[in-house]
Chains A and B, each alone.
Chain A
């Protein structure tokens, strides 16, 4: 009887220390399931024989680390996968005087405050996470009053409060033409805390309307 128990204990030890196969007699991994697998709770990866692995946080995806290492849960944004952080539309027209810039106000259908916040009272965006951003904006500028309308319009991503143009588009219009369509698109590095506004202007009095914007976070520092 004693002999049998010893054998049993030996067998258990043997069972739990070798490779285990399910539906296979030639397991190719510590646990090899020749078939499918189901689990109803967390998938913990990493850890050791006596410490728990990581179950990941919401919306993290499982990424391989190659041979001999456990996979890891990652945020795709941290691996330079682009992410939409703002979509905005100008709800109503603004007017501006000649040679003056006007900040365009947006209703944002999407804004990710982890990256960027927007103050609708001041019409200023504040960057919360440093990185490269792809900013695209469009607006229609109409010179008010009567002809001649000739002059130069601008649409600018303008740093606040310095007024420096991060990037902008200038379009000249002839004396008989009062409507200017302007769009700008560029990838720029923005630091945390940096502020900017989308601004339109013309060398004559004008209205700006139909503005839209999208901001995509491209990559980190």
Chain B
């Protein structure tokens, strides 16, 4: 009975003490600076819910979201990195180390890719059957590619390898996003093109890398990096 009275008095004491501090509760502090002021460490074993009201649930975020401040007096928010600011996101890194079959002079070939060590399928997917990348989230993307040509199988006598190489990154097989065209004399056994460009893509747009040489050639190596820039 005495214990119960002590407990009740304790409780009343705690509440009135908290009231005296304008409803603020302090742990390890008698001068709390927030509604709950923990002067020390905090451990939570489940969700951290932010926002909501006295009778509605706050947001616990999604896997991979970060806690972002909304300034003084406002609840922070869980956001994905691209919602925070204009942070570029690696969408695709695609590689090809396999030489294509020999192509005839002047025939344009779509580059294949043997692996995609990085691919963010929320942004862009890759179809190995068509060697096309398909945009899943509209926005501005930066494209960078390398395409290496092998002309070593041409006859040794002139005009042999002399001619022009054209590399393009195309949207929907037609619109040129970026390109490289170079002309070469005989005894050019191989060459490499680097190219980069930035463009806006809609959901469903296809992106592909193409090469052409005006003499016999193989495409011996390629890479493509696609970076999401902004909405």
Contacts and interface: CB of A to CB of B under 8 A. Distances in A.
Contacts of B33: 44, 47, 50-53
B6 A62 contact: no
22 contacts: A15-B14, A29-B43, A30-B28, A33-B45, A38-B52, A40-B75, A43-B75, A49-B28, A49-B29, A56-B69, A56-B76, A61-B69, A62-B67, A73-B69, A76-B84, A84-B230, A109-B140, A110-B230, A137-B196, A140-B179, A183-B197, A212-B199
A29 B45 CA distance: 11
Nearest to A30: B40
Contacts of A49: 26, 28-31, 37, 39
A122 interface: no
Interface residues of A, number: 79
B72 A42 contact: yes
Nearest to B71: A58
Nearest to B162: A174
A42 B6 CA distance: 36
A184 B45 contact: no
A52 B26 CA distance: 12
Contacts of B68: 59-62
Contacts of B177: 138, 212
A57 B43 CA distance: 24
Interface in A19-40: 19-20, 27-40
B85 to A, nearest CB: 6
B73 interface: yes
A210 B176 contact: yes
A181 B43 CA distance: 58
What is the predominant secondary structure among interface residues of chain A facing chain B? mixed
A40 B83 CA distance: 21
Given A39-B75, A41-B73, A8 B10 contact: yes
Most B-side CB within 10 Å, residue of A11, A31, A36, A140:
A31
Contacts of B13: 8-9, 12
Contacts of A8: 6, 9-10, 13
A214 B140 CA distance: 10
A5 B182 CA distance: 93
Given A76-B85, A84-B88, A214 B142 contact: yes
A162 interface: no
B70 interface: yes
B44 interface: yes
Given A49-B26, A181-B176, 8 more contacts: A16-B30, A38-B50, A42-B74, A47-B33, A110-B86, A138-B197, A140-B176, A212-B177
A193 interface: no
A184 B42 CA distance: 50
